[in-house]
Chains A and B, each alone.
Chain A
Amino acid sequence: MNTVLAAEAGSTTARNLTITLFLIFVAITLAITVWASRQTKTATDFYAGGRSFSGFQNGMAIGGDYMSAASFLGIAGIIALYGYDGFLYSIGFLVAWLVALLLVAELLRNSGRYTMADVLAFRMRQRPVRTAAAVSTITVSIFYLLAQMVGAGALVALLLGIKPGTTFLGMDADTAKVATIIMVGALMIIYVTVGGMKGTTYVQIVKAFLLMSGAIVMTLLVLAKYKFNLSSLLGDAADASGKGAAFLEPGLRYGVESGDGLKTFYSKMDLLSLGIALVLGTAGLPHILIRFYTVPTARAARKSVLWAIGIIGAFYLLTLALGFGAAALVGGEAITAQDKAGNTAAPQLAEALGVDFLGGSLGGATLLAIIAAVAFATILAVVAGLTLASSSSLAHDFYANVIKNGQASERQEVNVARISALVIGAVSIVLSIFAQSLNVAFLVALAFAVAASGNLPAILYSLFWKRFNTSGAVWAIYGGLLAAVVLVFFSPVVSGAPTAMFPDHDWHWFPLSNPGIISIPFGFLCGWLGTILSKESDDEKYAELEVRSLTGAGAH
């Protein structure tokens, strides 16, 4: 346990440095937020950052929005503990961007305005479609938000080295967790209510820059240690894992083969299900979709996705080196001693590298502090994006177009959006505090499954299928959403397994952890069935949507 985070000598230094660096990040981002608030006058400024960002800036911001703590800490952790299988995640998350690039980004940018529902409701009856879209947007965003905030709470004790029985500023580990959740929640509310989309975008750009820099430095140090020989790094990781060559092959975590044939079958179906949800979920995530509105043209939207693919792809390649580096240099035993899920693998690797390259425990503490501060910055930028997406939908879709029937003034709408951000933030803080003892890792997978099962069918049918109508859109969204949520509720992640949310109860009958393989086709089927069962069809509005989406005529 010589690389344990709270290694006595470095612990206080690391803690102070982490807090100092984090406070610097907070100070800079708050200054940007205040500056952005002065530039935020219209609804377009608040919702879409005035559509003034360049393709490169938005590409960075997309990276900042997308590379969550789950990617940085989670994937590095899975690779460190289970080897190759963590790579499957990275690949799904990256390939998913081709769906966004080829089918969604530009057409959405041309025909929508502030929210996902602008496109879905374009040629439909407003109220039912916008209500459904708001329900789905808020559901997906809250699932994702809870996972991030609970994750932040869980990490703080580890990253600040607060051990059971010791205190920090008079707080024990449990109090520190609650304090962190409240602080993260308060900061995201400030970013969104004060800075709107402009402030949030800059926070994400700064975070993407910090995260990429941190990952590049660590990767270079890992590779330098192995004289840039990837094969010897892999060999060392495999040896240290105690699993040998199997560590470098798929199958230690997903699609596990056991003596029980049925169990093996379900395990492999689960792997396929996860793979499908990862690749189809991204283009249905509301907080990602609204990022395409922050650029002036479809061409800039295309450029931003191209930059995003470059940045995110590079980042996942780096996490491969970080994960195997942590397996080789820190070792699975030391990692699981800190955190069973492996979430601290990257910070622990930073400490080990610091000891080697910067010299002694002070060097270890320094690099650990930098990476820990980057991890907190990562969480903040992602939760701000999620809060913005859900409050935009609540204000623009539900308040302005459902309650006020499209009669709200611009000022009223933005005020409601700000209040919504406050309410959603407060609700998330309370829910996260109650959920913090639960295993919430499945919430991100659930968010992807709902996005792929409900939102994606509705978006694709809207853009490409002339016959699609109100009933089809409503059926697709509610059908996909319900299928995903119900299947997860009756799956082993909620009950009936030792790692479940309720390990002592068992009401599960659905054998897979990820519902995608059933719920995604079900969502598409619902959208088709709902459409053909209704006579509604509006050729004129479809002509307008199609011409606008393909040519950019009349784009906002």
Chain B
Amino acid sequence: MSTDTPASAPSESTAERYLAVQRSDEFAGLRRTLRGFVFPMTVAFFLWYALYVILSAYARGFMGTKLISNINVALVFGLLQFVSTFVIAWLYSRFANRRIDPVADRIRAEMGEVTHEHGPRG
């Protein structure tokens, strides 16, 4: 069935083509750009979220501090997790539209139709 089984691996020329693209400077740049954004951002939001969970578990006094009448730090901190999630999603979308899509499109165009060896399915 599918071409994603090693048994029916693409012809040697196709495999070589993928290797060649993977080793090209353009592709290396794309990978570096993508990883340079998503890895640090993942670490950042995970630590920010972990801080929130840890404070909820171990800093009850601080989280219970009232800011404006019944609005306390815990509520504001929780709402900030919503805000940060929305902001990171928006930043990523802007980043990907500007820095990833054009390069990915260019590489795909350079590879041409050769990669479509899938037959009628899929």
The yes or no answer to A94 lying at the interface (CB within 8 A) is: yes
Contact between chains at B53 and A271 (CB < 8 Å): yes
Contact between chains at A232 and B96 (CB < 8 Å): no
Contact between chains at B70 and A551 (CB < 8 Å): no
User: How many angstroms from the CA of A126 to the CA of B7 in the assembled complex?
Assistant: 9
Known: A406-B7, A551-B107, A554-B115. A544 touches B53 (CB 8 A): no
Contact with A along B42-65 (1 / 0, CB 8 A): 100110011011101110100110
Segment touching B, from A166-174, A249-257, A337-345, A355-363: A249-257
Chain A: CB-nearest residue to B103:
A551
Contact between chains at A550 and B31 (CB < 8 Å): yes
Taking CB atoms, residues of chain A closer than 8 Å to B68 are 231
Contact with B along A477-512 (1 / 0, CB 8 A): 000000000000000000000000000000000000
The yes or no answer to B117 lying at the interface (CB within 8 A) is: yes
Majority secondary structure of chain B interface residues (helix, strand, loop or mixed)? helix
* Interchain nearest-CB distance for A306 vs B (Å): 6
Contact between chains at B45 and A118 (CB < 8 Å): no
Taking CB atoms, residues of chain B closer than 8 Å to A250 are 56-57, 60, 63, 74
Chain A: CB-nearest residue to B106:
A551
Contact between chains at A552 and B58 (CB < 8 Å): no
Using CB atoms and an 8 Å cutoff, list the residues of chain B in contact with chain A.
Answer: 1-2, 4-10, 15, 18-19, 21-22, 27, 30-31, 34, 38, 41-42, 45-46, 49-50, 52-54, 56-58, 60, 63-64, 66, 68-72, 74-75, 78, 81-82, 85-86, 88-90, 92-93, 96, 101, 104, 107-108, 111, 115-118, 121-122
Query: 23 A–B contact pairs at CB < 8 A?
Result: A99-B42, A102-B42, A102-B88, A126-B7, A234-B75, A238-B70, A248-B75, A250-B56, A251-B60, A275-B49, A279-B46, A406-B1, A407-B1, A543-B19, A547-B18, A547-B22, A550-B104, A551-B27, A551-B30, A551-B111, A553-B111, A554-B116, A556-B122
Using CB atoms and an 8 Å cutoff, list the residues of chain A in contact with chain B.
Answer: 42-44, 84, 87-88, 91-92, 94-95, 97-99, 101-103, 106, 113, 118, 121-123, 125-126, 230-232, 234-235, 238, 245-246, 248-251, 254-255, 257, 268, 271-272, 275-276, 279, 298-299, 302, 305-306, 309-310, 313, 316-317, 400-401, 404-408, 410, 413, 538-541, 543-544, 546-548, 550-554, 556
